[in-house]
Structure 1
Amino acid sequence: RDLFLFACYTGTAYADTVSITEENLFRDEEGSLWLKYHRKKNKMLARVKLLPEALAMLEKYKDPTRPTLLPPQEFRVLRGNMKSLRVLSGISMDLVYHVGRHSFASLVTLEEGVPIETISRMLGHNNIQTTQIYARVTPKKLFEDMDKFIEANKDFKFAL
């Protein structure tokens, strides 16, 4: 469960999540902790500022004897655990690890106003079209964007 939640908070793919190390962490000028790594899939650089929930998870699993920040889990075991989570939570669709990456792109970032170009960089995509597949526009985001558009153009007279 926690590995999946880490993907929801960071947008990391499974292969990247289980291989990140202390070397992948850095602090910015304000002291915020970032995750910076090259994706296993395409070698693209991905960078994401760690949310408090992700930081708490790293702290929870901190183990100086392990080379990775999070405990590794065989992918088939992870898949079995994901199926159990799906059943326990009453979700009807197949719950796979990659849903966490999509959740990060759509709900955590895009819906909160982060531009899709920035999300693309966070996810380590080399093509913004890939990010567009991940970052689905939710009804909430659509309504908010239309409200912003209307507010910004309230004094503009549209010709009929």
Structure 2
Amino acid sequence: KKILSTPMYDKRMELARRAFIFSTLTGLAYVDIMLLHPHHIGTNADGRRYIRINRKKTKIEAFIPLHPIAERILSLYNTTDDEHPVFPLPNRDALWFEIHELGVIIGKEDNLSYHQSRHSFGTFLISSDIPIESIAKMMGHSNIRTTQGYARITDDKISRDMDKLMERRKIQSIGEKTDNNK
């Protein structure tokens, strides 16, 4: 959250911040963001925008409906000229340095990384009750076990799941009592 609310005044740092946020909201790895071109961005029949790209690492297609913040970030960059990537990112080492600096600025104790952003994406989705099969497709995984390594179950998610179970049991027991009273 802090990274969302802390704009950078240096152009390179702001680009790094936006690309990192974009990665966190799409689950795309650094190399996939580097390879992202306008033709990977589409709109479905309902007007919902998405990214469809074969992941560099796995060659598996990732299909990612876009979060509104990710859409806003895209609108600031190249979404029309397919000769150039969407984001004008520097080389990997320069971007890694900027991401590290960004972490220092926002007070993050451990280093920020694109790998962390993928984990955050998976954890956010699983915590939002998105089925693991859908998360696997969005992350470009062919094996759900791989996705399970990214989508960490939080204590809050476990508590909410237990609350849902208790609510279902309560409704079932009320229904059983009603049936017994007939």
TM-score over 0.5 for the pair: yes
Residues 105-135 of structure 1 deviation map (CA, whole Å, 9 limit, x = unaligned): 112x111110111101100001111111100
Paired-residue identity, %: 35
Instruction: Tell me, in whole angstroms, the C-alpha distance in 1 between the residues paired with 2:56 and 2:152.
Output: 24
2:149 is matched with which residue: 133, 140, 149? 133
Partner of 1:100: 117
Instruction: Tell me, in whole angstroms, the C-alpha distance in 2 between the residues paired with 1:90 and 1:22.
Output: 34
Partner of 1:142: 158
Confirm or deny: 8 A CA contact 2:37 2:79 kept in the other structure.
Answer: no
Partner of 1:75: 92
Confirm or deny: 8 A CA contact 2:123 2:151 kept in the other structure.
Answer: yes
Q: Specify every segment of 5 or more residues in structure 1 that has no aligned partner in the other structure, as ranges.
A: none
For residue 93 of structure 1, give the secondary structure of its aligned residue in structure 2: coil
For residue 94 of structure 1, give the secondary structure of its aligned residue in structure 2: coil
Question: 1:139 Cα shift?
Answer: 1.4
Higher-RCO chain (CA-CA 8 Å, sequence separation at least 6): 1
Partner of 2:10: none
Matched, 1:117 2:130: no
Question: 1:18 Cα shift?
Answer: 1.2
Q: Highest CA radius of gyration, 1 or 2?
A: 2
TM-score by length of 2: 0.81
* Letter in structure 1 aligned against 2:94: V
Instruction: Tell me, in whole angstroms, the C-alpha distance in 2 between the residues paired with 1:64 and 1:151.
Output: 49
* Letter in structure 2 aligned against 1:153: R
RMSD across aligned positions (CA) = 1.4
Instruction: Tell me, in whole angstroms, the C-alpha distance in 1 between the residues paired with 2:30 and 2:62.
Output: 14
Question: 1:63 Cα shift?
Answer: 6.6
Instruction: Tell me, in whole angstroms, the C-alpha distance in 2 between the residues paired with 1:6 and 1:126.
Output: 23
Instruction: Tell me, in whole angstroms, the C-alpha distance in 1 between the residues paired with 2:71 and 2:87.
Output: 11
TM-score by length of 1: 0.91
1:29 is matched with which residue: 45, 62, 65? 45
Instruction: Tell me, in whole angstroms, the C-alpha distance in 2 between the residues paired with 1:97 and 1:145.
Output: 29
Q: Residue 36 and residue 64 in structure 1: after superposition, are their counterparts in 2 closer, same or farther (change >3 A)?
A: closer
Confirm or deny: 8 A CA contact 2:127 2:154 kept in the other structure.
Answer: yes
For residue 116 of structure 2, give the secondary structure of its aligned residue in structure 1: helix
* Letter in structure 2 aligned against 1:141: K
Confirm or deny: 8 A CA contact 1:21 1:67 kept in the other structure.
Answer: yes
Q: Specify every segment of 5 or more residues in structure 2 that has no aligned partner in the other structure, as ranges.
A: 1-16, 174-182
Question: 1:72 Cα shift?
Answer: 2.3
* Letter in structure 2 aligned against 1:44: I
Partner of 2:169: 153
Instruction: Tell me, in whole angstroms, the C-alpha distance in 2 between the residues paired with 1:34 and 1:14.
Output: 18
